[in-house]
């Protein structure tokens, strides 16, 4: 696919100032890759070789079936099943440590990721953190834009801090980490406040206090989203 994270200007990722910018970017890439794999890529031999070998995680299979192009999904699964059948019992198939019970999902792979879409996005994300840290260090206007974000989820906070430590000198990395700390605490403190309020609903002293506000009623889902970077419907 020609579209890549590297073709998207970094400032565009942050300009909306809504939610965690890297979660938004990840979701955009997920949608693009799923649409791509069920479209023109389905007939590209090199892509089919890779999807036959890697397969897909449940989340991305569900996204593929939601596109309503069931024939495309069936054809992809047809050759994936053929690949698995051809490789069952081969000596070079080894169960990956830490993936007990999921070995068949990874049949024929040399890496630990059992999904074509996940691996493609991870490949693109492997450098975006370093690019963001370097851009933050170089561009004063971007520093201001970065500080104006709503928040960073914990997963992308950790990724960006590690990228800053890798890409920047110690003093610069510490300043970048400080900005990341401020952004992730915005969401953390809100999540903690609403979880505390949710827990108090079950205290006998809260009896008769009326219905919980929406942000308290959805506190569990919001906390999970902050901690994992993934939306959770419950």
**pLDDT tens sequence across 193-224:** 999 999 998 887 766 667 889 999 999 999 99
pLDDT at residue 205 in the model? 72
Mean pLDDT over 53-65 rounds to 94
- Chain-centroid distance of CA 17 in Å reads 18
Pick the residue with more confidence: 23 or 93? 23
Percentage of the chain modeled with pLDDT above 70:
84
Taking the C-alpha atoms of residue 178 and residue 92, their distance in angstroms, rounded to an integer, is: 47
Q: Could you tell me the pLDDT band of residue 118, with boundaries at 50, 70 and 90?
A: very high
Mean pLDDT over 143-152 rounds to 96
pLDDT at residue 102 in the model? 40
Cα 149 to Cα 15, 67, 184, 187: the distances in Å are: 8, 32, 10, 11
pLDDT at residue 105 in the model? 43
pLDDT at residue 73 in the model? 94
Question: Whose structure tokens read 């942050």?
Answer: 14
- Chain-centroid distance of CA 124 in Å reads 11
pLDDT at residue 87 in the model? 87
CB burial of residue 139 (10 Å; 0-12, 13-18, 19+)? middle
pLDDT at residue 230 in the model? 79
- Chain-centroid distance of CA 187 in Å reads 17
Percentage of the chain modeled with pLDDT above 90:
65
CB-based contact 161:193 (threshold 8 Å): no
- Chain-centroid distance of CA 158 in Å reads 13
Phi (first) and psi of residue 59, to 5 degrees: -60, -45
Q: Could you tell me the pLDDT band of residue 7, with boundaries at 50, 70 and 90?
A: low
Pick the residue with more confidence: 229 or 160? 160
CB-based contact 187:152 (threshold 8 Å): yes
Mean pLDDT of the chain: 85
Taking the C-alpha atoms of residue 187 and residue 19, their distance in angstroms, rounded to an integer, is: 9
């Amino acid at each position: 696919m020609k579209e890549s994270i590297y073709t998207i200007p970094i400032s565009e990722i942050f300009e909306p100032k809504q939610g965690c910018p890297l979660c938004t970017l990840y979701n955009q890439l997920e949608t693009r890759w799923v649409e791509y794999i069920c479209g023109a890529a389905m007939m590209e031999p090199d892509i089919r070789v890779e999807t036959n070998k890697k397969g897909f995680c449940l989340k991305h299979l569900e996204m593929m079936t939601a596109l309503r192009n069931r024939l495309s999904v069936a054809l992809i699964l047809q050759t994936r099943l053929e690949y698995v059948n051809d490789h069952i019992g081969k000596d070079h198939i080894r169960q990956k440590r830490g993936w007990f019970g999921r070995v068949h999902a990874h049949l024929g792979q040399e890496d630990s990721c059992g999904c074509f879409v996940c691996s493609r996005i991870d490949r693109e994300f492997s450098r975006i953190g370093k690019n963001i840290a370097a851009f933050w260090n170089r561009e004063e206007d971007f520093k201001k834009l970065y500080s104006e974000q709503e928040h960073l989820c914990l997963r992308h906070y950790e990724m960006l801090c590690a990228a800053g430590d890798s890409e920047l000198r110690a003093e610069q990395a510490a300043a970048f980490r400080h900005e990341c700390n401020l952004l992730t605490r915005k969401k953390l403190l809100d999540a903690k406040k609403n979880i505390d309020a949710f827990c108090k609903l079950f205290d006998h002293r809260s009896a008769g206090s009326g219905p919980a506000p929406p942000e308290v009623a959805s506190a569990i889902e919001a906390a999970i989203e902050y901690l994992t970077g993934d939306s959770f419907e419950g």
